[in-house]
């Protein structure tokens, strides 16, 4: 049997560069060498693409470890790398293991569409929608799901007056990042400017959002939204996981650097009716955001009122050892090697579906 050629993209010009390297390592380990031929392209922090050697994948391990070694290999043009692959390896499918801007936001997906290569995860539109916390919330709200009240702020413009109506504390976050980079909790008006300045270091749009004392509940979604019932690639929601951060909130440090920074519980201890309703909301949010393949849908459950709010979707969720997405599927009976195979099958199915579309009037 011919092995399927899988090209992994990792690193990336994003504040989540390090996380991507750890995720890529997990995925490489999960891809069976009996079934797949694997190549890796590393995108450095300056956006330069190069063929990544094994050393990179073996060393990338620690999030707070050293920078991955600069591969001496020649730089690649992104289009050449994705259509021809590194070392003349023409991929059957690309797995963009990139988190955050330029990887998870549709940019790389657009490149892969142009190159005509099947790729894992959401398409251009789904990736872009998932990356923008403001646009995502507007669509999810239009689909009937609750979201916390927020206002949008832009650099160089006065803080919108309606921030006053939200009350304190507030959360300030860049619209298009992840991993809590640039996110601050603001207790009083005097600290709002500083928080916005921090968010604007990472994006030109920020959300100022009402804060709630919240439980953090996450749901993994996997599959083809247009599959018929009974299809093995049918869209499914996993059980729920809960993250309990031992910090002021679930910060970057708590996520990746501090092993005691957060605890994860699977399943989330919730009454079964609540679990069912959040799982159903996760699928609805995924569909309304043009999701495809995979997505981790995160909710904030207000401890005081018990009400749950859609918070965000991650179309390329973390795949580190402590990451919720693979852990939720493992708990649902889908081990990571099976999970990555399903994701690859989904990528190929979408590409075939698109290939059948007419390109002439």
Ligand X SMILES: Nc1ncnc2c1ncn2[C@@H]1O[C@H](COP(=O)(O)OP(=O)(O)O)[C@@H](O)[C@H]1O
Q: What residues make contact with ligand X under the rule CB under 6 A?
A: 148, 171, 173, 177-180, 183, 209-212, 214, 216, 245, 249-250, 298, 300, 311-312
Write out the two tokens for 103.
């990887």
Which CB sits closer to ligand X, 28 or 217?
217
Which CB sits closer to ligand X, 71 or 184?
184
User: What are phi and psi for residue 324, nearest 5 degrees?
Assistant: -70, -40
Which CB sits closer to ligand X, 296 or 349?
296
Distance between CA atoms of residues 6 and 23, nearest Å: 15
- For residue 171, the minimal CB distance to ligand X (Å) is 4
- For residue 298, the minimal CB distance to ligand X (Å) is 6
Q: Please write down the HEC assignment for all residues of 185-214.
A: EECCHHHHHHHHHHHHCCCCCEEEEECCCE
Which CB sits closer to ligand X, 179 or 323?
179
- For residue 179, the minimal CB distance to ligand X (Å) is 5
| Pick from 301, 313, 317, 325: nearest CA to 146 | 301
Please report how many Cα atoms fall inside a 13 Å half-sphere around the Cα of residue 323, on the Cβ side. 23
- For residue 317, the minimal CB distance to ligand X (Å) is 10
Query: Mind telling me the catalytic residues?
Result: 16, 179, 256, 296, 298, 312, 314, 318
- For residue 182, the minimal CB distance to ligand X (Å) is 8
Please report the DSSP string for 220-273 in residue order. Answer: EEEEBTTPPTT-TTB-EEEEEEEEEESSSSS-HIIIII-TTSEEEESS----HH
Which CB sits closer to ligand X, 255 or 350?
255
CB 139 within 8 A of CB 289: yes
Which CB sits closer to ligand X, 82 or 315?
315
Cβ-based burial of 28 (10 A; exposed 0-12, middle 13-18, buried ≥19)? buried
- For residue 53, the minimal CB distance to ligand X (Å) is 31
CB 119 within 8 A of CB 292: no
**Interacting residues of 104 by C-beta distance below 8 A, sequence separation 6+:** 96, 98, 127, 130, 131, 178, 314, 315, 316
Task: Taking each helix axis as running N to C, give the angle between helix 17-30 and helix 336-355, from 0 to 180 degrees, rounded to the nearest 10.
Answer: 100
User: What are phi and psi for residue 297, nearest 5 degrees?
Assistant: -105, 125
CA-based angle 148:153:157, to the nearest 5? 160
> What Cα–Cα distance (Å) separates residue 337 from each residue in 35, 36, 340?
11, 11, 5
| Pick from 321, 144, 124, 327: nearest CA to 219 | 327
Residues recorded for the chain: 361
Which CB sits closer to ligand X, 69 or 265?
265
- For residue 222, the minimal CB distance to ligand X (Å) is 20
């Amino acid at each position: 049997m011919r092995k399927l050629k899988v090209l992994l993209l990792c690193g990336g010009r994003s504040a989540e560069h390090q996380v991507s390297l750890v995720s890529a390592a997990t995925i490489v380990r999960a891809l069976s060498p009996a079934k797949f031929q694997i190549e890796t392209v590393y995108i450095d922090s300056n956006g330069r693409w190069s063929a990544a050697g094994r050393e990179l994948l073996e060393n990338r391990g620690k999030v707070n470890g050293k920078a991955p070694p600069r591969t001496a290999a020649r730089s690649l043009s992104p289009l050449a790398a994705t259509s021809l692959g590194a070392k003349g390896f023409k991929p059957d499918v690309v797995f963009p293991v990139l988190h955050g801007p330029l990887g998870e936001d549709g940019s790389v997906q657009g490149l892969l569409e142009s190159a005509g290569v099947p790729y894992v995860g959401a398409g251009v539109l789904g990736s872009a929608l998932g990356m923008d916390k403001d646009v995502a919330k507007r669509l999810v709200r239009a689909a009937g799901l609750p979201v916390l009240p927020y206002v949008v702020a832009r650099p160089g413009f006065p803080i919108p007056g309606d921030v006053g109506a939200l009350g304190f504390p507030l959360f300030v976050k860049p619209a298009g990042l992840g991993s809590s980079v640039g996110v601050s909790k603001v207790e009083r008006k005097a600290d709002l400017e500083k928080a916005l300045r921090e968010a604007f270091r990472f994006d030109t749009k920020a959300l100022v959002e009402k804060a709630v004392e919240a439980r953090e509940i996450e749901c993994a979604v996997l599959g083809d939204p247009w599959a018929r019932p009974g299809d093995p690639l049918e869209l499914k929601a996993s059980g729920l996981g809960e993250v309990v951060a031992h910090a002021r909130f679930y910060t970057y440090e708590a996520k990746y650097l501090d092993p005691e920074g957060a605890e994860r519980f699977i399943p989330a201890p919730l009454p079964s009716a609540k679990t069912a309703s959040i799982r159903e909301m996760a699928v609805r949010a995924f569909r309304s955001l043009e999701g495809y393949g995979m997505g981790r849908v995160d909710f904030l459950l207000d401890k005081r009122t018990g009400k749950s709010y859609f918070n965000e979707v991650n179309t390329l969720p973390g795949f580190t050892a402590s990451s919720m997405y693979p852990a939720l599927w493992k708990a649902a009976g889908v081990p990571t090697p099976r999970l990555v195979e399903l994701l690859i099958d989904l990528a190929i199915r979408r590409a075939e579906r698109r290939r059948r579309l007419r390109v002439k009037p």
